[in-house]
Structure formats: structure tokens, C-alpha cells
Amino acid sequence: MPWIKKDIFKKITPTNLSSKILCKRHNENSSGLDKQAGDMLRIITKINSEFARGNYISEIFVFSGIDLEKWMLKTVCNMVASDQIIPLSENINKPVLDIKWLKILYAQEPWPEGWGLYFMKETDEPIYYNQDFSFQPFYHPIKGEILGAKFKFNNFQFNFLLGKPDNPDEWGTFHPNTLIFKKNNIQKFIEITWNESNKNRYLEFNHVGTTDQLPPGYPSYPYKIE
């Protein structure tokens, strides 16, 4: 956060990360979006914990992809409006809230083609589960404009783009239908529904074990708690 000094950890509330950019009616109408995101974090935690404990029961969990995208857009709007996103450099103006985002969020404009949720690019590298959530904006390299954001749910990365990418495959799987978590012969499914008749876009993850070590590259340095 730009208002927290380097190497200082502080407990903050959701109020600190939001801005009153929505009227009461719009805020009440979008409150259910927060539950979708919270449930995604909870379910990924649940799946990993049950595999680690040896609780091998097949399960299916269903999410609305449209609501997840709306929550991501709402979060970007809040982070920009509440000055939680700092400019890339002193020579670039701070990011500003684009009124187009709010019009899309509340269906006053159609959702543009290619915008939205891309699930992390497939890789042979292991994903180290870590119980946390993170948000990181994507900037235009010259103008400093916000082009989207990276959301990590327990180290599973969702890329949210506010524009149609030139090379979509570099950002991952667009509008995935199913995330399949496997251990031995047991499978747990996160089904993500969309208002489109797309192909069956699915990704598979095999649970191979647990460790008490921090994930590679995870920041480890002295810090103060205030």
C-alpha cells in the first residue's frame, strides 16, 4: 500500500482498501460479488487441506464466471478510486478511474470482446499452495494506465484484463470452464459457468505432496508490525 512505509506490516480492514464510489443501491446490488471471491479462496483452501489430510472425496463446486469478472472489475475500481495503486514513476500521473469501467460493471455498456478473466498460463513448474490472497495491477509501460490486474488465490493466478490482448495465449486460458484437482483416483472440480457456448476449456492439477517450507521466491526479510 502506498501509505504504508517499506518493511512495515500493518493490520488493515476492508474499509481501508475501499472508496465510496458507489451509491447505496449499487453497493447493495454488488455485495454478492464479494462472496464469490471469498468462496473461491475458501474452496481452494478446502481442496488442498482435504487432500493433505487424506480426505479423498470427489466433489463439485460451481461458480459464476460473470460474477467473478464483475468482482475483479469492482476491485480494480475500488483500488484506483481509493488511491491504493501508485504510479510507475514520479513522471507519470497516478491512475484514474475510467467511467467506462463503471458502465460495464453495471451493464450500461456491453462487456468488450476479449476483456476479462484468463486463468494462469499452463506450465510444467509446480504451483506451491500458500494460504493468502494478492492483488497486483498491470500497467501500460509508457502511459502508466491500468490495463488489468493479477489476482492470486492461494497462489493460483487469475489474470484480469481491461483490454483485448494481442496474444491471448500469453495470459492463460480465457474463460476456463473447469479446474480439476486430482490426487490418486479422486477428483475435485471447480466449475465456472459463462453465458456463452464455448469449448470445454479445462485445466488439471495433481496434488503431489505437502511441505512446511515457504514457496520459492516468497519474500523473506525482517519487518516491523504496527
Q: Are strands 224-225 and 8-9 parallel, antiparallel or unpaired?
A: parallel
Residue 225 pLDDT: 44
Q: Which helix (H) or strand (E) element contains residue 186?
A: strand 186-193
Residue 172 pLDDT: 94
21-80 pLDDT, tens per residue? 554 554 555 668 999 899 999 999 999 999 988 877 899 999 999 999 999 999 999 989
Beta-strand ranges (E) seen in 104-185 are: 116-119, 133-139, 146-153, 156-161, 173-174, 178-183
**Which region, left, alpha or beta, applies to residue 141 given φ > 0 means left and ψ of -120 to 50 means alpha?**
alpha
d(CA 214, CA 226): 23
Question: Which are the contacts of 131, defined by CB distance < 8 A and separation ≥ 6?
Answer: 45, 154
For the question of whether the overall pTM of this predicted structure is more than 0.85, the answer is no
Residue 198 pLDDT: 65
Residue 64 pLDDT: 95
Segments in the chain below pLDDT 50: 1, 3, 14, 17-18, 23, 26, 222-226
Residue 3 pLDDT: 46
